[in-house]
Structure 1
Amino acid sequence: GKLKAYLKHLEKHLKETMEDKTDQLNEIEALKGCTKDLLGHISEEFEALHQILHKKEQDIKLMVEKMKAENMEEMEDSFTSLLGEASTRTETIDKVKAALEGTDHVAFLKGLKELMERVKKDHQGETEDDEEAEEEEEDETEGKSDNDGSGDEQCEASGWEDESNEDHEDEDEGDEDYEPDETAHDGDDRVVHVDLALENFGESLDFETWKEMLEGIKPRQV
């Protein structure tokens, strides 16, 4: 009788254990499903965060590229302008050297006005009245004529008359008082430098703070 009583009690506990076993298997499957869903949700949300960060990265890079392009356009325009100016000045210098080295003083005088106008236009300094410069240029012109033997004889041989010389001098009046300003140089104002906003842009990218902020993110305690 006692054994029968224990058997009934044991069978009851076995039934409860089997039910608990079944429930535990169900909970295990539920855990697997819950974890799988949760991991998928975490992946999706972090992917969204990655996309946001990636978009921010692209936006910031595009901003830098735009600033670079604008700055580069200004620099290239300045470089093209300076290149053209250098070419023009080189050509003017060659013409001046050729004129100074030439032996045909009649041709020199005929082209002097045009050459002086080109020199004045090419030079950045202001034209100033200077009697000393005028006298020096006159002395240099006379000296070249004397060194050649006789400038007057060449003028007569070429059919030039004194009157035409006077007309030429009248046309060139005001040219000989030109004195270039040797100190004038505005190159620093014309050179386009790297945009300060672009140079200092890196300071606005506080990556360390952003990293600390991201690393400090923790799930709320439930």
Structure 2
Amino acid sequence: MNAAARFEGPGVSPVFRARKLSKTYRMGEVEVHALRDVDLDIIEGEFVVLLGPSGSGKSTLLNILGGLDSPTSGDAQWRDHQLVGAGDAELTRYRREHVGFVFQFYNLIPSLTVLENVQLVTEIADRPLDPLEVLKLVGLERRIDHFPSQLSGGEQQRVAVARAIVKSPDVLLCDEPTGALDYETGKVVLAAIARANEQLGTTTIVITHNAAIAGMADRVLRLGGGRIVGETRNPRRLSAEEVTW
């Protein structure tokens, strides 16, 4: 079965569902419309790329789906969790129990080793994975006793990926995960994210301005001016090794 067919047809229901999502920021006398009436469905296990230039609404949409921000209007839910109108405690529990985040900057604790940085998350997780197995998944099993300062940027980002997935999240949200990396190390990080999606079944959303990364996705949503302006389903997902830019 090809990538598109896996997420189409009867019985396939979305885990994320958003309707008429809008977000307006006020900057002095100016209103900035970050999102405008966005409708979105994401299926369990999908690898989705949100593609668009800076200011297109990608990060705002990701932050709402991750329970880090709330829309000005509209509705969003994850399974039976209502994300719009939920209180701080409820959103904190949603993020802790269901969501893994990978950001452009790694935010590792410098005084902890690679293994300790990943183990720290397992203390607040309900169903954590084995930290050593997760570090093996991202190719860092030989670096577990090193500190962040002893790692390259790509290795630090792979620790951040491991830290995000060790709690066995239902969804992995990645905000420009290769933005601070060079070409070769960026591809290694993308391969680690793809393995988490393929081997663990984690629903994965990656936002990027790099159109080449879109080939790795099951589905690509293009954003512009706060709206979804296009959608593409890839008949075959490219591996990180096949992606060039």
TM range (shorter): under 0.3
Q: Which has the higher strand share?
A: 2
Q: TM-score, normalised by structure 2?
A: 0.22
Q: Which has the higher helix share?
A: 1
